[in-house]
């Protein structure tokens, strides 16, 4: 294998490994934060520690291979000079080789510019595309980062990468992220506190949208502080049968995506079971 192909393969391997590492680390730490008392502190520590570990290992690997890298460069240069003296390389072959050399860097740049979307797509490969909440199936966007726990709740984070919104939002520490939450209500009588916004006057607006064969009533419960100092919107929803609740907290530009998920939800087919035997036909 030529040196050019080896380099392209190494860079591509590093890109895939880093992406799988990031997504896998987030899933593992999210599981730990849900099942252990100190999981949230562990999440923050391990997430930042893991991001520092990757470049440290790359620098160490580069340092260890420095002498071998110089030797490979020298052998490659001598081989190219000898090949040009024997049979000159065509221009299209040179262009193709240079393009192949830049291809891993372009892939890494694309992942960097659209990192939230890329992580969302990868998360769908580790999680189910649809989720069952009390026989209601929600379909989060393909580019949303998913988290779920059995059939109890589903959360989806919608983000826009630097390639879509530019670097200013991230430099100002205001990343364009929105969170969608969907919960399966186990016992409506015990969860009666979820319906306070249906009759409260301290809401900005209300809206009813289709939710399978039911309807979902939503209310804008954004606080005055968020309305004055940020662009964040808080919406709470409850289904007409009190079996599913939903929450949205994020940018106003993503509210329509949240409502679209509610509208496109489906229901599992139900099997009718007779509690009492039907009457027999007369003989």
10-residue mean pLDDT series, the chain (283 residues): 69 75 69 61 63 74 79 76 63 74 78 84 72 84 84 87 83 83 76 70 87 90 78 88 90 91 82 55 57
- Which helix (H) or strand (E) segment holds residue 264: the answer is none
What does each C-alpha distance from 250 to 1, 205, 214, 240 come to in angstroms?
50, 16, 25, 24
DSSP, residue by residue, 157-168: EEE--HHHH-SH
Location of structure tokens 């090949």? 83
The DSSP output letter for 187 is -
Domain co-membership, 176 together with 238: yes
DSSP, residue by residue, 59-112: HHHHHHTHHHHHHHHHHHHHHHHHHHHHSPPPHHHHHHHHHHHHHHHHHHHHHH
Q: Report residue 139 CA to chain centroid gap.
A: 13
Domain co-membership, 182 together with 69: no
Residues linked to residue 178 through DSSP beta bridges, in sequence order: 158
How many Cβ atoms are within 10 Å of 99's Cβ, its own excluded? 10
Location of structure tokens 């992406």? 19
Domain co-membership, 183 together with 241: yes
- For the chain, how many structural domains are there in total? 2
Domain co-membership, 178 together with 51: no
Strands 214-220 and 232-239, sheet pairing: antiparallel
pLDDT of the residue at 205: 87
Cα–Cα distance for residue pair 139/120, rounded to 1 Å = 13
In-domain check, residue 70: yes
Domain co-membership, 167 together with 65: no
pLDDT of the residue at 258: 93
With beta carbons less than 8 A apart as the criterion, state whether 100 and 8 touch.
Answer: yes
Cα–Cα distance for residue pair 39/45, rounded to 1 Å = 10
With beta carbons less than 8 A apart as the criterion, state whether 162 and 112 touch.
Answer: yes
Domain co-membership, 106 together with 124: no
Residues linked to residue 214 through DSSP beta bridges, in sequence order: 211
Domain co-membership, 58 together with 139: no
- Single out the residue of 51, 9, 13 nearest to residue 29, CA to CA: 51
Domain co-membership, 101 together with 221: no
Burial 119-147 (b: 16+ CB within 10 A, else e): bbebbbeebeeebbbbebbbebbebbbbb
pLDDT of the residue at 181: 92
In-domain check, residue 224: yes
Domain final residue, candidates 113, 146, 172: 113
In-domain check, residue 238: yes
Cα–Cα distance for residue pair 130/151, rounded to 1 Å = 11
- Domain of 142 in residue numbering reads as 116-267
Residues linked to residue 275 through DSSP beta bridges, in sequence order: none
pLDDT of the residue at 95: 78
Structure pTM?
Answer: 0.63
């Amino acid at each position: 294998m030529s040196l050019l192909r080896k380099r392209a393969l190494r860079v591509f391997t590093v890109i895939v490994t880093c992406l799988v590492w990031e997504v896998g680390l987030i899933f593992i730490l999210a599981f730990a934060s849900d099942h252990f008392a100190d999981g949230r502190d562990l999440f923050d520590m391990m997430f930042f520690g893991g991001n520092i570990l990757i470049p440290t290992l790359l620098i160490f690997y580069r340092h260890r291979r420095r002498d071998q890298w110089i030797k490979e460069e020298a052998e490659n240069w001598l081989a190219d000079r000898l090949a040009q003296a024997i049979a000159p390389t065509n221009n299209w072959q040179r262009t193709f080789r240079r393009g192949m050399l830049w291809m891993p860097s372009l892939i890494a740049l694309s992942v960097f510019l659209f990192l939230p979307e890329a992580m969302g797509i990868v998360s769908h490969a580790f999680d189910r595309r649809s989720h069952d909440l009390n026989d209601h199936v929600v379909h989060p966007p393909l580019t949303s980062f998913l988290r779920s726990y059995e059939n109890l709740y589903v959360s989806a984070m919608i983000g826009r990468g630097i390639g879509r919104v530019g670097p200013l939002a991230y430099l100002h520490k205001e990343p364009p992220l929105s969170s969608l939450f969907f919960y399966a209500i186990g016992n409506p009588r015990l969860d009666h506190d979820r319906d306070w916004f249906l009759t409260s006057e301290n809401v900005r607006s209300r809206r009813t949208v289709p939710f399978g064969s039911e309807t979902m009533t939503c209310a804008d419960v954004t606080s005055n502080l968020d309305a004055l100092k940020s662009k964040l919107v808080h919406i709470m929803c409850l289904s007409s049968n009190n079996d599913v609740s939903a929450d949205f907290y994020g940018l106003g530009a993503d509210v329509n995506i949240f409502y679209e998920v509610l509208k496109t939800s489906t229901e599992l087919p139900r099997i009718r079971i007779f509690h009492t035997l039907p009457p027999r036909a007369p003989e």
